[in-house]
Amino acid sequence: MTDNPFFLPRTTPHGVPPFPAIAAAHYPEALKAGMSQHLAEIEAIAASPETPTFANTIDAMERSGKLLADVASVFFNLNSANGSDETRAVERDFAPKLAQHSAAIGLHPGLFARIAELYARRNTLALSPVQMRLLERKYLDFVRSGAALDTEGRARMEAISQRLAVLHTEFGQNVLHDEQDWSLALSEADLEGLPEFVIEGTAQAAAERGQSGHIVTLSRSLIEPFLKFSPRRDLRKVAYLAWIARGTHPGAHDNTKLIPETLALRQEQAKLLGYADYARYRLADSMAGSPEAARRLADEVWPAAVAKAAEEREMLRADAKADGLNDALAAWDWAYYAERVRRAKFAIDEAELKPYFVFENIQAAAFDTAQRLFNLDFIARPDIPAYHKDVTIFEVQEAGRHVGLFVSDPFARADKRSGAWMSSFRDQERLDGVVSPIIVNVNNFAKSNPTLLSFDDAETLFHEFGHALHGLLSDVHYPSQSGTAVLRDFVEFPSQIMEHWISEPATLRSYATHFETGAPIPDDLVARLKAAQNFNTGFGTVEYTAAAILDLELHRHPDPASLDVIAFEKQVLDGIGLPAEIGVRHRAAHFQHLFAGSGYSASYYAYQWAEVLDADGFDAFAAKGDLFDPTLAAGLRRVFSAGDTEDPMTLYVGFRGHQPETAALMRQRGLVAA
């Protein structure tokens, strides 16, 4: 009898994975079994002597691969959030095997023949609109994976997929290595001028690494406040240069050696499928439709953003000069002097703000927002074992009815991937009965007692919670259409529109309460926070837009195999006039959105595209004068619940009443035409 928990009946509450019983040694056997079972199911569909029907082909495909989906979701979620040397070894071993498995299905000639036959007869099948979209998307996915190519072409696409899986894995693990490998020890004198929460964070970071004293690490939750508050310019420089050097160090962990091969393989994929370059291939299946459309948005925003950043720079230069800095402003100076100017101009001090932003309270604010908008209740379930002591599982209910589970994993850890993300252990569907979602939000907040967030941290929490609601509110029949399985430049809309609610005075007065006194944030501090809302947005827009342009240009390079990554990066950024004092948000060598997977490759612009949607969409609530207007909330819920059952622009227009307007983004960021 096996002791592998993936093969045993699931007796946990609501079918949550039995986390305490799962060990790294269980994954290889379970992944192999999952792939074998899935492939046998696919072969049975493809070899069926029956005439293809929607039921015996598309429905059957939707039912296949359940074991593999379960094992893979647990493995990849835990490897990212709670990884180890053992799980990373499994990842290196199985990444190409899983890619080969996916290619074997996506390029299966017999399976594609059945799908193609159904697609050709689609208008005679009396399909529902949802079924029609599913069939059309399945057919398109197979064509875009190379299923319509000849034998040689399919073989090459499969080989490329396997090699890319290896490169993606190596890239992500190299970034993690560099983040784990570096630290900056701080003496007591080096702590002078730092707020207490930063000092506590550096002590916690040292303790996590088995060291005494205080260290700065390359965890975003620690490096960013250090750069913002440390008066020691020499230490800021050391920390900043280490931050931007991730992935560039010569030797075994040098990502600049992986990028040219990755780009060349992607370009080869695109050309095999008849596209001039990878960006054109990727964006053909997007709301934007083409790299030209994505670049037009960037070019529309860029002049106004640079102009606003120039105004901000002059304020920072004046403050730096008054502070005794006669040298030119450098990239490691911007955050520090921006915080000083913000304090002086708006009387806003992050050290004054943070005591009001207790993690648990801001999470409660997100839950309350979901309750008032969508009638959802979040009930802590400490009886359900989680995968780490810092993780809390909540049952989500609507009027007493079980909706799903929400897994909250908020704090930074040494073996945790940096950044913040939403994922799922199980997606909602009801193909063969009701299947409720199990959604996880992962953040990397610096843990302390209590954990105090910056306002940016609070916005990040609401952002990822928006993704979570997209998964939790999913109300679809077919697994492939569930939750966030939408076009890449639409998936950020639910997350970004949710950010608006944390900055609203009503939310702040209720949930931004002082961690010691319990007093609500003062009205004058809320007013100052709102007044400062567009301060430094020139900087933020410039560093993001530069990264989006770099992404597009990397994926349109005519000869990527010969690419000198660092030189090309400089050429692109110099070409658009990126101010040296700002820098790009993600350098290519640690741009995990692009190279630790293909999710945002040639698609990083999607955040800005979605910001047009969210700015325009939230304008509807603002114009109504009621942030929880029932009619608008119902329309927004329709967007969240529809998954990929409808065209995203159709969904958006159904909610908003018109197509999105770029002017809303410009107003939201306080930008004016240059």
Pairing mode of beta strands 183-186, 214-217: antiparallel
Q: What is the spatial distance between Cα 186 and Cα 182, in angstroms, rounded to a whole number? A: 13
In whole angstroms, give the CA distance from residue 140 to residue 563. Answer: 31
* 377-434 confidence digits (pLDDT tens): 999 999 999 999 999 999 999 999 999 999 999 999 888 988 899 999 999 999 999 9
CATH code assigned at 140: 1.20.1050.40
The answer to whether position 602 is within a domain reads no
Note whether 64 and 203 are same-domain residues.
no
Both tokens of 503, joined, read 């900055």
For residue 192, indicate whether it is catalytic.
Answer: no
pTM given for the model: 0.91
Tokens linked to 396: 């989500």
Q: What is the mean pLDDT of residues 112-130?
A: 98
Is there a single domain that holds both residue 518 and residue 578? no
Residue 160 lies in a domain: no
Share of the chain above pLDDT 90, in %: 92
404: in domain: yes
159 is a domain residue: no
Between 139 and 532, the higher pLDDT residue: 139
pLDDT category at 449 given cuts 50, 70, 90 is: confident
Which residues pair with residue 429 across a beta bridge?
Answer: 435
Q: What local confidence, expressed as pLDDT, does residue 352 receive? A: 87
Closest C-alpha to 134, from 232, 60, 210, 39:
60
State which H helix or E strand residue 217 sits in. strand 214-217
Distance set, CA 373 to CA 410, 570, 633 (Å): 23, 45, 6
33 domain residue, yes or no = yes
Question: In this model, does residue 578 exceed pLDDT 90?
Answer: yes
Q: Is the pLDDT of residue 301 over 80?
A: yes
Rounded Cα–Cα distance for residues 339 and 319 (Å): 11
In a domain, 170, yes or no: no
pLDDT for the residue numbered 671: 86
DSSP-based three-state secondary structure for 497: helix
- Mapping DSSP onto H, E and C, the string for 267-311 reads HHHHHHCCCCCHHHHHHCCCCCCCHHHHHHHHHHHHHHHHHHHHH
Sheet holding 421-426, edge to edge: 377-380, 392-398, 401-411, 438-445, 421-426
Q: What is the pLDDT of residue 410?
A: 97
Q: Cα Rg for the chain, rounded, in angstroms?
A: 25
* 441/371 same-domain check: yes
Decide if pLDDT at 330 tops 60.
yes
For residues 515 and 506, give the distance between their C-alpha atoms in angstroms, rounded to a whole number: 18
Report pLDDT for 661.
Answer: 86
At 53 the pLDDT is 98
Is the Cβ–Cβ distance between 348 and 528 less than 8 Å? yes
Q: Beta-carbon neighbour count of residue 55 at 10 Å? A: 9
pLDDT score recorded for residue 24: 97
Average pLDDT taken over every residue of the chain: 95
Report pLDDT for 672: 66
CA distance 406 to 467: 11
**16 and 138 within one domain:** yes
If one counts the domains in the chain, the total is: 4
Co-location of 327 and 436 in the same domain: no
Question: What local confidence, expressed as pLDDT, does residue 674 receive?
Answer: 38
| DSSP string across 352-392 | HHGGG-BHHHHHHHHHHHHHHHH--EEEE-TTS--SSTT-E
Catalytic residue among 464, 492, 499, 581: 464
What residues contact 211, with CB distance under 8 A and at least 6 apart? 183, 185
Tell me the pairing of strands 401-411 and 438-445.
Answer: parallel
> Could you tell me if 517 and 570 lie in one domain?
no
Specify whether 482 is located in the same domain as 362: yes
pLDDT at 435 over 80: yes
Classify residue 333: in a domain, yes or no: yes
Cα(391)–Cα(416) distance, rounded to whole angstroms?
Answer: 13
**pLDDT tens-digit series, residues 154-200:** 999 999 999 999 999 999 999 999 999 999 999 999 999 999 989 99
What's the mean pLDDT in 639-668? 94
**pLDDT single digits (tens) 75-101:** 999 999 999 999 999 999 999 999 999
Contact at 8 Å (CB) between 447 and 392?
A: no
**The pLDDT of residue 405:** 98
Residue type, 255: N
> Which candidate, 101, 84, 239, places its Cα nearest to that of 176?
84
Q: Do residues 81 and 195 both lie within one domain? A: no
- pLDDT exceeds cutoff 50 at 234: yes
In this prediction, residue 563 carries a pLDDT of 96
Boundaries of domain holding 52? 5-106+108-148
Distance between CA atoms of residues 359 and 654, nearest Å = 35
Average pLDDT over residues 279-285: 97
Per-residue pLDDT, 418: 84
* Coil vs helix vs strand at 246: coil
Mark whether 394 and 457 lie in a shared domain.
yes
Same domain assignment for residues 273 and 321: yes
Residue 357 and residue 255: Cα distance in Å, rounded? 37
User: Which of 647, 545, 572 is CA-nearest to residue 296?
Assistant: 545
Residue 384 lies in a domain: yes
Instruction: Judge if 571 and 646 occupy the same domain.
Output: no
- The CATH number covering residue 425 comes to 1.10.1370.40
Q: Which residues contact 595 (CB under 8 A, 6 or more apart)?
A: 167, 168, 171, 255, 258, 259, 262, 588, 601
Average pLDDT over residues 70-77: 98
Q: pLDDT over 70 for what percent of the chain?
A: 99
The Cα–Cα gap between 395 and 374 comes to 15
* Residue 446 · residue 475 · CB < 8 Å: no
Q: What is the pLDDT of residue 349?
A: 82
- In eight-state DSSP terms, residue 408 is E
Domain finish residue from 577, 597, 617:
597
Q: Are residue 483 and residue 624 in the same domain, yes or no?
A: yes
